C-alpha cells in the first residue's frame, strides 16, 4: 500500500470507510428486488408501482451522481461522503416507516439523492488515496466487496421478509451507515481547500427532467398498452430535455458537471458504452431472477435471495486478482472476455423454467455470469479512474456511476409487462429479457475493443 498519497493516514481504514459507505447504495439497490412481491401484497400496488419502487431510487441516483461528484470536488469529498451517509440513514428509516406507496416512493427518491452524494465521493477518495498497482488492488477489493454485499443483501432481506415484514430490510442500513460515518470522520484525510467553481445546477435540473421523463414514458409503455400519443409526447419531452442538457454542458465547457471534452477520448467513450450495456443487463438480472424464482418457481423470499449467493462469493474471491491483472496487462482483454462470458451465462439461463432444478439450471447460469462479472467489474473501475487527471476523478467516477445506474434505470422501466404477468406469459417475458441481456453484453464486449491492447511490462 505504499501508493498512498497521505503518508500519515491508514490505507486499510480509508478503504474500509469507502467500502462501508458505498455498500449502502449497493445493498439497498439489490435487497429491495426480493421484496417486490411482498410490497405488492402489503401496499396493494400494480406493476407500474413496483417499477417505481426501484426507479424512484435509481432516477435521482442516475441524474445527480454527476452533481455529487462535482460537489465533492468543490466542497470536499470527505464532507460530502459523511453528509450523504447521514442522509441515507435517515431516509432508510423513512422507508421502513412508510404507511403507503406515495410515502415509500418519496423516501426512496430521497435515498437516491443521498446515494448520489456518497457514491462518487467514496470512489474519488479511494482513487486519490492510492497510486499505481496499489490503486488496482484497492479498487479490486472495493469493487468485490461492494458487489458482494450488494448481492448478499437479498439473502438477509429475504430472511427478514419471511420472518414477517419487508420494512425491516431498510433498517439493516443503519448500523452500516454508523460504521461508515465513524471511519470516515476518524481516518479519511481532511478536505483540502477547493477552488470556488459554481455548481452546474441547470445541468442537474435538465438531466433529472430528461431521465425522469424518459423513465416515466418507458414505464407507462411497458406496463400498459404500448406507445400512445401522450406517452410519445412525454418521450419527445425527454429527448428535448436531454438535448438541452448537452447544450448547457457544451456551453459550460470545463465547468460542466459532465465535460463533453471527456468524450474526445475513444477509450472513455468505449468505457461509457460498455458500462451502459453491462450494468443494464446486471440490473435486469437482479430484478428478474429473484422475481421469477418467487412468482414462477414458488421459491420463498429467503430461497430466492440465497439462490444469488454464488455471485457474491465468486466476485469476492476473484475480482481483486482481475483488478491486479488489468493493472499489469491493460483492461481490454478482461473486459472483452468478461462481457462475453456474462452473455453466455444469460443464454444458459434460458434453461430455467418452473420445473427446473437449482443445481442443474439456475446455478450454472449464475456461476457463469459471476465469473464474467469478476473479470469485468474491477478492470472497468480502474480504467475509468486511470482515464482522467486526479482533479477530475470525482467527475469521472460520478459520471461512470451515473451511466451504470442509468442502464439499470432504463432496463427496469422496460420490465413492466414481465412484472405484471404470470404463468406461461411470465415464462416468455423472462426468456425474452435474458436474450436482450445477452445481446447487451455482446455490445459491451464490442465497446471494449476501442481500448489499447495488452501492455508489456
Three cell numbers, residue 12: 486499510
Distance CA 200, CA 72 (A): 13
pLDDT of residue 439: 96
Structure letter (DSSP) for residue 265: S
Residue 346 near residue 438, CB atoms below 8 Å: yes
Q: Give residue limits of the domains in the chain.
A: 11-188+257-448, 200-256
Closest Cα to residue 412, out of 54, 7, 31, 1? 54
44 dihedral zone (left: phi>0; alpha: psi -120 to 50; beta): left
Copy the grid coordinates of residue 90: 435517515
What's the Cα-to-Cα distance from 424 to each of 353, 360, 437, rounded to whole Å? Answer: 10, 21, 20
Report d(CA 438, CA 342) in Å as an integer: 7
Q: Which of 230, 235, 233 is nearest to 210 (CA)?
A: 235
Q: What pLDDT does residue 76 have?
A: 85
Per-residue pLDDT of the chain (457 residues; tens, 9 = 90+): 334 444 444 778 888 888 888 888 878 777 888 888 888 888 888 777 888 888 888 888 887 877 787 788 778 888 899 999 999 999 999 999 998 899 999 999 999 999 988 888 887 788 777 766 677 778 778 777 776 676 677 888 888 888 878 898 898 889 989 999 999 898 888 877 555 567 778 888 888 888 888 888 887 787 666 678 888 898 899 999 999 999 998 888 777 777 787 776 677 888 889 999 999 998 889 888 988 998 888 888 888 888 888 887 787 788 777 777 776 777 888 899 999 999 999 999 999 988 888 999 999 999 999 999 888 887 887 777 776 666 666 567 667 777 888 888 888 878 877 777 778 888 998 999 999 999 999 999 999 887 766 654 4
pLDDT at site 395: 66
**CA-based Rg of the chain, rounded to a whole angstrom?**
21
- Give, for 282, the enclosing helix (H) or strand (E): helix 266-295
CATH number of 11-188+257-448: 1.20.1250.20
Torsion of CA 151, 152, 153, 157, to 10 degrees: 120
Q: Cα separation of 98 and 81, whole Å?
A: 26
Distance, C-alpha 92 to centroid of its chain: 18
Q: What is the pLDDT of residue 1?
A: 39
Task: Report the pLDDT value the prediction gives residue 6, as an integer from 0 to 100.
Answer: 43
Amino acid at each position: 500500500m505504499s501508493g498512498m498519497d497521505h503518508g500519515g493516514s491508514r490505507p486499510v481504514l480509508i478503504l474500509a470507510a469507502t467500502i462501508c459507505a458505498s455498500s449502502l447504495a449497493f445493498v439497498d439497490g439489490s435487497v429491495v428486488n426480493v421484496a417486490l412481491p411482498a410490497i405488492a401484497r402489503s401496499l396493494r400496488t400494480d406493476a407500474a408501482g413496483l417499477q417505481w419502487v426501484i426507479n424512484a431510487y435509481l432516477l435521482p441516483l442516475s441524474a445527480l451522481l454527476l452533481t455529487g461528484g462535482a460537489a465533492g470536488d468543490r466542497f470536499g469529498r470527505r464532507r460530502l461522503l459523511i453528509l450523504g451517509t447521514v442522509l441515507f440513514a435517515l431516509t432508510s428509516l423513512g422507508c421502513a416507516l412508510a404507511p403507503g406507496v406515495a410515502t415509500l416512493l418519496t423516501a426512496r427518491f430521497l435515498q437516491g439523492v443521498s446515494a448520489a452524494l456518497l457514491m462518487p465521493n467514496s470512489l474519488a477518495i479511494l482513487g486519490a488515496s492510492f497510486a499505481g498497482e496499489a490503486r488496482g488492488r484497492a479498487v479490486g477489493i472495493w469493487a468485490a466487496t461492494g458487489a458482494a454485499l450488494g448481492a448478499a443483501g437479498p439473502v438477509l432481506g429475504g430472511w427478514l421478509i419471511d420472518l414477517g415484514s419487508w420494512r425491516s430490510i431498510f433498517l439493516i442500513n443503519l448500523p452500516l451507515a454508523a460504521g461508515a460515518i465513524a471511519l470516515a470522520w476518524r481516518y479519511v484525510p481532511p478536505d483540502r481547500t477547493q477552488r470556488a467553481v459554481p455548481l452546474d445546477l441547470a445541468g442537474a435540473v435538465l438531466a433529472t427532467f430528461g431521465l425522469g421523463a424518459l423513465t416515466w414514458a418507458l414505464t407507462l409503455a411497458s406496463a400498459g398498452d404500448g406507445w400512445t400519443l401522450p406517452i410519445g409526447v412525454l418521450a419527445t419531452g425527454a429527448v428535448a430535455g436531454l438535448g438541452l442538457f448537452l447544450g448547457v454542458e457544451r456551453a459550460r465547457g470545463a465547468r460542466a458537471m459532465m465535460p463533453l471534452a471527456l468524450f474526445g477520448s475513444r477509450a472513455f467513450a468505449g468505457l461509457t458504452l460498455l458500462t451502459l450495456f453491462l450494468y443494464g443487463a446486471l440490473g435486469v438480472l437482479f430484478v428478474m431472477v429473484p422475481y421469477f424464482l418467487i412468482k414462477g418457481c414458488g421459491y420463498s423470499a429467503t430461497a430466492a435471495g440465497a439462490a444469488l449467493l454464488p455471485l457474491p462469493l465468486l466476485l469476492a474471491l476473484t475480482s481483486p486478482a482481475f483488478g491486479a491483472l488489468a493493472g499489469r496487462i491493460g483492461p481490454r482483454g478482461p473486459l472483452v472476455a468478461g462481457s462475453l462470458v456474462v452473455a453466455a451465462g444469460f443464454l444458459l439461463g434460458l434453461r430455467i423454467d418452473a420445473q427446473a432444478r437449482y443445481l442443474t439450471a439456475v446455478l450454472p447460469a449464475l456461476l457463469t455470469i459471476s465469473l464474467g462479472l469478476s473479470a469485468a467489474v474491477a478492470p472497468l473501475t480502474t480504467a475509468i479512474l486511470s482515464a482522467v487527471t486526479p482533479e477530475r476523478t470525482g467527475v469521472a467516477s460520478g459520471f461512470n456511476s451515473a451511466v451504470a445506474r442509468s442502464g439499470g434505470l432504463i432496463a427496469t422501466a422496460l420490465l413492466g409487462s414481465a412484472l405484471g404477468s404470470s404463468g406461461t406469459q411470465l415464462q416468455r417475458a423472462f426468456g425474452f429479457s435474458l436474450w436482450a441481456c445477452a445481446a447487451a453484453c455482446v455490445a459491451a464486449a464490442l465497446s471494449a475493443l476501442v481500448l489499447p491492447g495488452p501492455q508489456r511490462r
